[in-house]
Amino acid sequence: MIASLNLFIVDGISGSVSRVAIIYIGILHCLFLLSTMAKVGETRKRKCKFSENVRMKFPFFSEGRNENEAKCNICDCFVNFGHRGSGDLQIHVDTEKHKSGIRKASSTKKINTFFSAKVTSVDKNVKAAEATLAFHSVLHHHSYNSVDCRSELGKVIYSDSQIANNVKCGRTKTEAIVNHVLAPHALDVVTSTLRNNVPYFGIGTNASNHGALKLFPVVA
């Protein structure tokens, strides 16, 4: 701007500054203002972005709704770190809300810990043993209440058996196996036999009361 003063052309008669020099100075001034505003705008637009380095430093965070935001997977909230970067995330980590979420997460088991990763041959044999015990109860008309202590008794008698030590088949599980495994299979066998091997058959039914229950036995 100082160098541009040398371009002033002073008229010797009127002492006025040349119009060309004034226009030139005005253009330079405008260009200077525009360049300054552009630099300020570029400085303001520079914001921190969520990157892989940030993810490695703060493993509890993931990408947010935009590149200047991170999501805390512990607190289930979004943190804007476009200005301070990792400092904003550290401020959130130091809050009592986040610390409380960490304590709760560490004391809670993940759902995949309740399921076996791989079914082994021992697991298959245990399931077969439980189904056999349930069928034995139905075959000999045992009540479901009578099978509660059977699994524990087998562990004492067959203490060296890996299958017996893993059998857990009380009344609730026995009833579930009978109703949802053995009974459907038995019906499939009977209907398949009647459909393929018996061309004609008769059905007899009658109603009877058993306490508060109304029974309809069917005889084929």
Confidence of residue 75 (pLDDT cuts 50, 70, 90): confident
Query: Does residue 216 fall inside a structural domain?
Result: no
Any domain includes 146: yes
Tell me: do 34 and 56 sit in the same domain: no
Q: Which CA distances in Å does 77 have to 74, 106, 198?
A: 8, 19, 67
Q: Does residue 212 form part of some domain?
A: no
pLDDT of 1 reads 44
Q: Does any domain span residue 209? A: no
* Angle (CA) 60 64 67, round 5°: 120
Is residue 210 included in any domain, yes or no? no
The verdict on 167 and 182 lying in the same domain is yes
pLDDT digits (tens, 9 = 90+) for 180-192: 999 999 999 988 8
DSSP state of 209: E
Residue 170 pLDDT > 80, yes or no?
Answer: yes
The reported pLDDT for the residue numbered 117 is 66
* Residue 116 · residue 152 · CB < 8 Å: no
For residue 72, what are the contacts with CB-CB under 8 A and spacing of at least 6?
60, 61, 78, 79, 92, 98
Predicted pLDDT of residue 21: 60
Q: Does pLDDT of 42 surpass 70?
A: no
**Whole-number mean pLDDT of the chain?**
78
Residues 178 and 126 both lie in one domain: yes
Q: Are residues 178 and 158 in the same domain?
A: yes
- 3-class SS of residue 127: helix
Q: Kindly state whether residues 57 and 39 are assigned to the same domain.
A: no
For residue 180, the model assigns a pLDDT of 94
Task: List pLDDT tens digits, range 113-167.
Answer: 666 667 788 889 999 999 999 999 999 998 888 888 888 888 888 888 999 899 9
Domain tally for the chain?
3
Is the pTM higher than 0.85?
Answer: no
- pLDDT in the model for residue 179: 94
- Residue 33 is part of which domain span? 3-45
Residue 147 lies in a domain: yes
Same domain, 75 and 20: no
